[in-house]
Structure formats: C-alpha cells, structure tokens
Amino acid sequence: MHLFFTPNREFEKMKQYKVGLVGIGAVGTEMIKVLRQRQFPASEIRVLATRERDEVIAGETFHVLETKPESFEGLDIVLFAGTEGSKGASKMWGKVATDKGAFVIDNGDDFRMHDDVPLVIPEINADDMEAMIRKGSRFIANPNCSTIITLMGIAALHRVNPLRHMTAVTFQSVSGAGRAAIEELGTQMKQVANGEATEPKAFAHQIVANVIPQIGGPKPEMPGFTTEEAKLTFESRKILGAPNLRIACTCVRVPVFYAHSIAVHATFERPFTVEEVREIIRKAPGVELVDDLPSAVYPMPKDFGGKDNVGIGRIRIDPSEENGIALWCSGDNIRKGAALNAVQIAEELIKRELV
C-alpha cells in the first residue's frame, strides 16, 4: 500500500525532511515533479550534480550544488536519479551519504543484487525492506523500470497462487535510454517523413519505423541474453522471494517516447480463471484493469504515459501451458518505473517511522 500525503493544513503539520537529489536528467526532473505533486513533506530539496549552477527543473529554479562529501550534511533521504545503466554516482557517493546519516534510494543498477540491499517495489515487498532496515541497512535500490512494470500485476497473482514460470517480451520506450534518445526519436521522425537519411547515435540502429531487439550489452553469464534481460530475470526473483523461479525474456526497444509495455505468459501452481485474475487485478494497489478485447480496450503507451498506475489487460488462458495465464501490461517507465517508485519508497520510510 502506498501513502498519499494529505494537503493543506494537515500537510503543514507533518514533520519535514531534508531531501537530496543526485542527478537532474529525465528521472531527476520527474522525481522533483513527483515530490511536488504528492506534497512530500520536504523542508528542502537539495540538488547535486557534477558542477554548481542555477537550473530550471520542472518549472522551478534550483541552485544546483557540486557533489562533495559536505553536500550531504544534514540530509535525511537522498535520491540517486541516474538514467538506467549509468554507473558511478551511487558507487562514489552512496556510502558517503549513508555515513552522514541519510537513507539512500538508488535508481541505478550497481547495488540491486547485493544481499544486504533491499530491492523494493512498495506495493509488493515493503515489509522486506523494513526488515532489512531494522537490521541496519540504510541503502535501498529501485528496480529496473521493466521489472517494476512487469511485476505490478504478476506479484498480486503470485500472492494468491505461487508463480512457477514466466516468459516476458518487453516493448520499451526510448525514454529509458535518457534525453538524448528521446531527442533522437523526434529528430528521426522528421528525417524519415522528409525522406532524409538518419544518423543513429543514441542507439546502434535507426529507431523510428523500426524495433531493436537488444537493450544493453551481452551478458556473459547468460549466453545469448542481454544485460537488460538479466535484470528482469534476477530482479524478479529477488523481489518475489522466488530464487528458483524459471524466467525467460526478450527485451526490445520500440519507437515510443514514454511508457514500456510487456507481454507476459505465466504459469502458476494452480489453475486460474480469467475472472479470478481480473478480480485480483481490480483490487491490487497501483494497477488498473483495462481489459475489453471486443471493444478494443487494453493498456497502451499513449494512455499510460504520465500516469501513476500500470495498466493490465489482454488477460486470457494460455493453452500452451498447464495453469497458464497470458496478459499485457503498460506503464510509464520514467514515472512508476523510476521516479514515482523511488518517492513511494521514501514515503514508506516515513510511514513506517524508519527515518
């Protein structure tokens, strides 16, 4: 269950927290939007980057500070907002922040699979996070965007009927690769419309009017699979508490600006009916049932970009597997897949009186 802070007079009475934000790309900008929209009780949002300057972020002017050890003094919570796949910021500054007394919530992938770091989707495993924090952990990892969107519906089913196997094919928007990728798609749309040649830079191939069946580099420990596919595999096992779960996935980049979609085929310990699945999804926090095939109603990126919830639809029996269910999900990778999930973790820290 995630926490919505009450506005106006009740909000003003809440304890206030000093929040740090490291990185101001697409995810960092969205984090500030989410903090403001949810009226997070922040007495200060201190933005840190590689150099000091004034920067307009989400309509506000912030005096950005150069990241130094002293920059973390007095902070209660620090959000590391690196674009998926970026390295170094939390490795360099995460321990500095925790040593200064802050809780770190890291959007990068450097620490996700560390045994002493909780990997958290608040609607799914906030209790696991609390248990680890009470044992002394102050570092929390945000999962990969495709992992979050995939598991929002699947985890609700798993709680009722244990998951045994999952196959996923992702359709991931370009915003997952950062601002340069967003700009490249826009540029290439104009170039192709005008009959001009494209010059791929953010991706290995032209992205407009194309799909690229590779996200990340080869994963040596998983021959034939990519690093993105490995993340979805190993992160799902950790979050669901199912270390032996059988998973196979293919991650694909598509010419969409915002919101990832995933086609999931899952098998469970016992059979489900379609209506049972729909009823579980209807009641699950953070998801929205959008499932009426005869009326051409299902979740699509154009409808879920900018939304907090993940849409679930195309629910059907998978006849190729015993106890199989197929479904389709779509959700904003920058919002729920990154910024919102991180802020929800911070809210859980407050709600559970951990910070």
Q: What is the largest CA-CA distance in the chain?
A: 60
Indicate which residue of 145, 249, 251, 329 is catalytic: 145
On the CB side of 349, CA atoms within 13 Å amount to: 28
Q: Has 145 been annotated as catalytic?
A: yes
Count of CB atoms within 10 A of residue 256's CB?
21
Cα angle 96, 100, 104; round to 5? 65
- β-pairing verdict for 324-331 and 260-268: antiparallel
Could you write out the DSSP letters of every residue in 61-124? EEEEEEP-GGGGTT-SEEEE-PPTT--SHHHHHHHHHHHTT-EEEE-SSSSTT-TTS-B--HHH
Indicate which residue of 2, 158, 251, 260 is catalytic: 260
Alpha helices for 142-178 (secondary structure H): 145-160
Q: Has 251 been annotated as catalytic?
A: no
Separation CA 238–CA 234 (nearest Å): 6
Please list the active-site residues.
Answer: 145, 260
